[in-house]
Structure 1
Amino acid sequence: MPQRQASLTRRWAVRAAALTTALVACLATWVTPAFAHGAVGDPANRNYSCQQRWGNDFQNPAMAQQDPMCWQAWQDNPLAMWNYMSLYRNGLAGQFSARIPDGQICSGGRAEGGLYKSMDTVGAWKTTDIGNSFTVKVNDQASHGADYLLVYVTRQGFDPTTQAIKWSDLQLITKTGRYSPGSSYTANVSTSGHTGRAVVLTIWQASHMDQAFFFCSDVNFVR
């Protein structure tokens, strides 16, 4: 009897795992088109980067060692990666530093009821190598247009692997003008004297309504 019970338990565990995988896949398929908006494709923001690397293999336990920051994000809520294009807040009226608390900037104040809170987790997120002159590219899947893009970079000496990001840690580098609705918008950015690891924060103020998107991209400044 104990052996039979153990066998039944194992079979039900396998069925439950398969059902969970199918459910997540169905949710991802259903939710993504309904809320498609955009993301920073270069340098890739946190959840978009995780989805690109692991979207086809997001249950692989090797992620825990190879990419631990993405692992914690997938474990916290897979929909935050599948819905990488929907990290936005409505009705902020441009009052970003007043309405988004320190330590919650990468999640837009934990937008969508806390769905994106893992984006604020402090640690060694994988980085993209860039120079002191680089281009930010925002992909707009819904052709919303942009009133402007704001591009910030964490100050030299700030360590995002050990410190939560505060507004006082960010330097506004670029504010663009308007963009007509299209599939993507680019901003050429120039910094001075930045070296090593940093975070680039891009805020996209969409034109179709008062809707602001928040994108944290982990970078490594190389000369």
Structure 2
Amino acid sequence: MTRPPLRWLHPHRAALLALLAVLPALLLVFTSGDSSSAHGTPMQPASRTFMCWRDGLSSTGEIKPINPACKAAVAESGTTPLYNWFSVLRSDGAGRTEGFIPDGQLCSGGNTTFSGFNKARNDWPLTHLTSGASLDFSYNAWAAHPGWFYVYVTKNGFDPTATFGWDDLEDQPFLTVDHPSVTGQVGTVEGAYKWKGTLPSGKSGRHIIYMVWQRSDSNETFYSCSDVVFDGGKGEVTGVGDPGDTSTEPPTDPTATCTATRRTTGSWSGGYQAEVTVKNTGANPILGWMVDFALPAGQKVDSVWNGSATYSGQEVMVHNTDWNGSLAAGASTTFGYVASGGPPDTATAPPCTVH
């Protein structure tokens, strides 16, 4: 089976990329509330990472999975993937599927952080569905960005205990969604892309619904596995400890910490250039970070590199880019900026937050 790169399905994307190419490379200015990296995952039907996060929620804020498949995933990959249930992504994906993501790694998108979720088992949490019925799909928008959603399903006779590969999927998506809008508050569980779609007909028993979210403003691409059973259900969930939990914020990983150190690398009358070093000071890898600082009155940032900035008055929030958000324990990265309107800021350690 030959599965072309998804970008081939949209000829107008070339025109969009040509337009983006003429934008200044270093001036990364976004409207307030935007984010450099998209984040999200299916909530209906729910992905493995979302289901296992829900399964493991505890009153203390720790994640302690009950479902055996979720426990096995944590045994291999730790709990960090559950605190980052919305981050199964490849920053270099560019919408690619077969030939890019190896067989046996579809559920992690080839991202080694989530390798425990590739396990071939028949006890993952399940969503119960009816073949050929209409379903209200929901895809979390932890950080929203425009793009396309491609929804595949496995072929009849799929065996959940065998290695999951591209030949197990139907050749074409049964549903394609073009740049849906976001409802609810971005950055919470309620913030989501929503659409109504018809489930494939002629399906029964266990299957995987496989989704690919391809951003149209970046190469960043998300991959997910949602375990389902076509048994006449209407979206009910089984196999999780507390499917009815209504928490709007994922718990914070107590071991996920970072620091930021700023230094001036050049100055002149009315302006300066600064470099900020971000370091993962936690015990586990992190998938993203944000540095927040305030400029003195009258100053503004003219350009940013190796980071993406949002602004609110004098407040500046710099998020990681697609390529420097993932940091191993103890690893560091840098971003820089040029500011005008005054002398260098004397604050050398702005706050850093893991996300």
Fold similarity call, TM over 0.5:
yes
- In structure 2, C-alpha distance between the alignment counterparts of 1:180 and 1:54, rounded to whole Å: 30
Q: In structure 1, what is the Cα distance between the partners aligned to 2:215 and 2:36?
A: 17
* Native 8 Å contact 2:180 2:194 kept in 1: no
Cross-structure match for 1:219: 228
Q: Could you say which residue in structure 2 is the equivalent of 1:210?
A: 219
**Which has the higher Rg, Structure 1 or Structure 2?**
2
Structure 2 CA distance for aligned equivalents of residues 52 and 145 of structure 1: 26
For residue 115 of structure 1, what is the aligned residue in structure 2? 113
Percent identity, please.
31
Aligned counterparts of 2:207 and 2:55: Cα–Cα separation in 1: 20
Q: Deviations over 1:104-159 (max 9, x none)?
A: 000001x1xx110011001021211011222331111112122x111011111111
Which stretches of structure 1, 4 residues or more, deviate above 3 A after TM superposition? 33-36, 57-60, 180-183
Of the structure 1 ranges 71-80 and 191-200, higher mean CA displacement relative to structure 2 is found in 71-80
Is residue 49 from structure 1 mapped to residue 51 from structure 2 by the alignment? yes
Give 3-state SS (helix, strand or coil) of 1:72's partner.
helix
Check 1:135–1:97 CA distance in 2 against 1; reply closer, same or farther (3 A cut): farther
* Contact map agreement 2:57 2:64 (CA 8 A) in 1: no
Q: Which residue of 1 aligns with 2:260?
A: none
Residue 5 of structure 1 corresponds to which residue in structure 2?
A: none
User: Higher helix share goes to which structure?
Assistant: 1
Q: CA deviation at 1:59?
A: 3.8
Deviation at 1:164, TM superposition (A): 1.3
- Does residue 196 (structure 1) correspond to residue 172 (structure 2)? The answer is no
Contact 1:36 1:85 in 2 (8 A): no
Matched position secondary structure for 1:179:
coil
Determine the structure 2 residue equivalent to 1:140. Answer: 141
Tell me the residue number matched to 1:11.
none
Q: TM-score, normalised by structure 2?
A: 0.48
Instruction: Note closer, same or farther for the CA distance 1:59–1:142 as it changes in structure 2 (3 Å cut).
Output: closer
Aligned-partner Cα distance in 2 for 1:78–1:34: 24
Alignment of 1:106-185 (within 5 A): 106-109=107-110, 111=111, 114-124=112-122, 125-132=124-131, 133=133, 134-146=135-147, 148-160=148-160, 162-171=161-170, 172-180=173-181, 183-185=191-193
Q: Which has more strand, going by share of residues?
A: 2
Do residues 58 (structure 1) and 63 (structure 2) align? yes
TM-score (norm 1): 0.74
Q: Write the distance in 1 (CA, Å) between the matches of 2:152 and 2:37.
A: 26
* Deviation string, structure 1 residues 69-106 (Cα, Å, up to 9, x no partner): 01111222100111011110122232211100011000
Q: 1:89 to 1:122 in 2, by over 3 A?
A: same
Distance of 1:208 and 1:50 partners within structure 2: 30
Whether contact under 8 Å (2:151, 2:174) holds in the other structure is: yes
| Unpaired stretches in structure 2, ≥5 consecutive residues | 1-34, 184-190, 233-355
The count of residues paired between Structure 1 and Structure 2 equals 181
> Residue 73 of structure 1 corresponds to which residue in structure 2?
73
SS of the residue corresponding to residue 119 of structure 1 reads helix
SS in structure 2 opposite 1:115?
A: helix
Q: 1:54 to 1:36 in 2, by over 3 A?
A: farther
- TM-superposed CA distance for 1:38, in Å, is 1.0
Q: CA RMSD in A?
A: 2.1
- Partner of residue 37 from structure 1, selected from 21, 36, 39: 39
Contiguous gaps of at least 5 residues in structure 1: 1-32
Larger displacement relative to structure 2 (191-200 or 132-141): 132-141
